Chain A
Amino acid sequence: MRFGTVIREAVSGLRRNVAMVVSIILVTFLSLTFVGTASLLQMQVGEMKNYWYDRAQVAVYLCSGISPADACPQGEASADIKAAVEAKLNEGTLKPYIDKYFFENHDQAYQHFQEQFKGNSVAKYVTKDQLNETFWVKLKDPEKSQIITETFTGFAGVEEVRDQRSYLDQIFNILNAASLAAIGVAVLMLFSSALLISTTIRLSAFSRRREIGIMRLVGASNFYIQLPFVLEGIVAATVGSLLAGGAVIAIVHFFVQGVLAPKLPFTNLVGLTEGFTVFPILVGVGVLLAAVASGTAIRRYLRI
């Protein structure tokens, strides 16, 4: 086996099929960039989930003066009721699940509301006694919010118990669906680039069928005949996947960190660490894809 000869054959093949090689490079570049971006999006969703789920709390809203009568027949929650709720939170059955809790009275609720809806006309009309006094409960394991809900739903003086995660879940479901759809499209694109690679390699083999015939005639082994073609596919796909990796890094650096990060100061965005995690995966996927696609194509074409 003379490796120099094999390399020379591969290079001459690449030179002869420039247009097809460029198309392989482009299609692997595009599809792998898509794969890379989609997986970064997945990572982003995961990171945001961790971040927000950690901050999500269970709100035990106490009855206010304007609460509906069926939930709060006795009207505004009294000091006794507040004490009873707090006592319940400190009881042995609940305490092990609770990380911490704090009480938000009408004044604090009003202040938060004003901050949150600054500039919105609703901030002008709302009054302190319309806002619920609330026990904010932070759980050790946010998955166990059921316990709080069950304990305080129907509890005298409690209007409603709400797990903030239920709001977050909706958002994350949408984000997750979007990133899964992106991955689905990426897989389709990968599939089409595999097909393109195998078609290209078959064309390349067809244009060199005379040489192949002669090689077989003089007793070249199948491996020796096939290797230049497989290398051709791998070289082209490697170039494409390196470009894709570079594009993903560039997206992270210039768009996510450069444009998004200053606008979303409190969001933990994916960074170059994630970018450099994705990079070798993309190159690996590209090379493997090309090796399998071109290997299968050429083996089928060159059956003795």
Chain B
Amino acid sequence: MISISHVTKQYKGAPRPALDDVSIEIAKGDFVFLVGTSGSGKSSLLRLMLREDIPSTGSVSVLGENLVGIPLRRIPQFRRNIGMVFQDFRLLPNKTIFDNIAFSLEVTGASRAKIADKVPAALRLVGLAEKSDRMPNELSGGEQQRVALARAFVDTPALLLADEPTGNLDPGTSAEIMNLLEKINAAGTTIVMATHDRGLVDRAQKRVVVLDQGKIVRDERGAGYGGAQ
């Protein structure tokens, strides 16, 4: 699913590399937490997986695609198989909830029938079916993140990347989002989630990859934030 080997990412002008000789394998169906302090390299790693960036050295392969050598024109096609969720939701403020989700299908050229079928299903999954005509600013943070999740998941991607999806939410709402992510994972989607949320990681007991100063310092299955319990 994801194979990263000996990846170093050096940004121009930075004193030390954001990622320093990182290697990691993630199998299909895995649920992986990327944890670590700010600047430890979590986001850089996610950016490489989405091919928003390329490593300075090393190789990145996601969904069977070699992301270092991939031609630019194939990137959109590649991204259609990946769902992405962010801390700041990134919904389009001038579109309704329904249109926000439909948008990600429209740009891929999906038919009207497919949109009419898939969008309500995704909204039902996140429990917002009755709010499909609302605008994003009429929704709470937790609801907006659920919309973002629905958008990421609507085309049932093989891989879902989440960059601190609960960072702006209260603990109760975070737990809801986590529930949804586990549901999506149970349906077969591989999930890689960067987070700071100690409680969340401890409760989930999934695979935990700890990054520190651009290096992987721990990679453990069925573990908590601070190590196996």
Q: Which A residues are within 8 Å of any B CB, using their own CB?
A: 1-2, 5, 12, 210-211, 213-222, 224-225, 304
Are the C-beta atoms of B75 and A304 separated by less than 8 Å?
A: yes
Are the C-beta atoms of A219 and B103 separated by less than 8 Å?
A: no
Q: Which of B86-131 contact A (CB under 8 A)?
A: 90, 92, 94, 103-104, 106-110
Identity of the chain A residue whose Cβ is nearest the Cβ of B148 in the assembled complex: A214
Are the C-beta atoms of A219 and B72 separated by less than 8 Å?
A: no
Considering the chains assembled together, what is the distance between the CA atoms of A75 and B75 in angstroms? 95
Identity of the chain A residue whose Cβ is nearest the Cβ of B100 in the assembled complex: A214
Identity of the chain A residue whose Cβ is nearest the Cβ of B101 in the assembled complex: A218
Are the C-beta atoms of A219 and B92 separated by less than 8 Å?
A: no
Are the C-beta atoms of B76 and A221 separated by less than 8 Å?
A: yes
Contact of B107 among A12, A210, A215, A304 (CB under 8 A): A215
Are the C-beta atoms of B92 and A224 separated by less than 8 Å?
A: no
Contact of A211 among B50, B92, B106 (CB under 8 A): B92
| Shortest Cβ distance from residue A218 to the other chain B in the assembled complex, whole angstroms | 4
Identity of the chain B residue whose Cβ is nearest the Cβ of A1 in the assembled complex: B109
| Shortest Cβ distance from residue A58 to the other chain B in the assembled complex, whole angstroms | 68
Are the C-beta atoms of B92 and A216 separated by less than 8 Å?
A: no
How many B residues touch the partner, as a band? 20 to 34
- List, in ascending order, chain A residues with CB within 8 A of B79's CB: 216-219
Contact of B72 among A2, A213, A215, A304 (CB under 8 A): A304
- Beyond A5-B106, A224-B107, is A218–B92 a contact (Cβ under 8 Å)? no
- List, in ascending order, chain A residues with CB within 8 A of B90's CB: 210, 213-214, 217
- List, in ascending order, chain B residues with CB within 8 A of A1's CB: 109
- List, in ascending order, chain A residues with CB within 8 A of B109's CB: 1-2
| Shortest Cβ distance from residue B16 to the other chain A in the assembled complex, whole angstroms | 26
Are the C-beta atoms of B106 and A216 separated by less than 8 Å?
A: no
Considering the chains assembled together, what is the distance between the CA atoms of A220 and B105 in angstroms? 9
Would you call B73 an interface residue if the criterion is a C-beta within 8 Å of the partner chain's C-beta atoms? Answer: yes
Can you pick out 27 interface pairs between chain A and chain B where the beta carbons lie within 8 Å of each other? Answer: A1-B109, A2-B106, A5-B107, A12-B94, A211-B92, A213-B90, A214-B90, A214-B103, A214-B104, A216-B76, A216-B79, A217-B79, A217-B90, A218-B79, A218-B84, A218-B103, A218-B108, A219-B76, A219-B79, A219-B108, A220-B107, A221-B73, A221-B76, A221-B107, A222-B76, A225-B107, A304-B72
Are the C-beta atoms of B73 and A218 separated by less than 8 Å?
A: no
Are the C-beta atoms of A219 and B106 separated by less than 8 Å?
A: no
- List, in ascending order, chain B residues with CB within 8 A of A5's CB: 106-107
Are the C-beta atoms of B77 and A222 separated by less than 8 Å?
A: no
Are the C-beta atoms of B84 and A217 separated by less than 8 Å?
A: yes
Considering the chains assembled together, what is the distance between the CA atoms of A213 and B91 in angstroms? 11
Are the C-beta atoms of B80 and A219 separated by less than 8 Å?
A: yes
- List, in ascending order, chain A residues with CB within 8 A of B151's CB: 218
Interface string of B47-87 (1 = CB under 8 A from A): 00010000000000000000000001101111111101000
18 more A-B residue pairs beyond the given contacts A221-B77, A224-B107, with a C-beta to C-beta distance below 8 A: A1-B109, A5-B106, A5-B107, A210-B90, A213-B90, A214-B90, A214-B104, A215-B103, A217-B84, A218-B84, A218-B104, A219-B77, A219-B79, A219-B80, A220-B108, A222-B72, A222-B73, A225-B107
Considering the chains assembled together, what is the distance between the CA atoms of A220 and B110 in angstroms? 11
Are the C-beta atoms of B73 and A214 separated by less than 8 Å?
A: no
| Shortest Cβ distance from residue A174 to the other chain B in the assembled complex, whole angstroms | 55
Identity of the chain A residue whose Cβ is nearest the Cβ of B80 in the assembled complex: A219
Are the C-beta atoms of A219 and B73 separated by less than 8 Å?
A: no
Identity of the chain A residue whose Cβ is nearest the Cβ of B92 in the assembled complex: A211
Are the C-beta atoms of B92 and A214 separated by less than 8 Å?
A: yes
| Shortest Cβ distance from residue A132 to the other chain B in the assembled complex, whole angstroms | 80
Identity of the chain A residue whose Cβ is nearest the Cβ of B112 in the assembled complex: A2
| Shortest Cβ distance from residue B13 to the other chain A in the assembled complex, whole angstroms | 20
| Shortest Cβ distance from residue A53 to the other chain B in the assembled complex, whole angstroms | 58
Considering the chains assembled together, what is the distance between the CA atoms of A214 and B79 in angstroms? 11
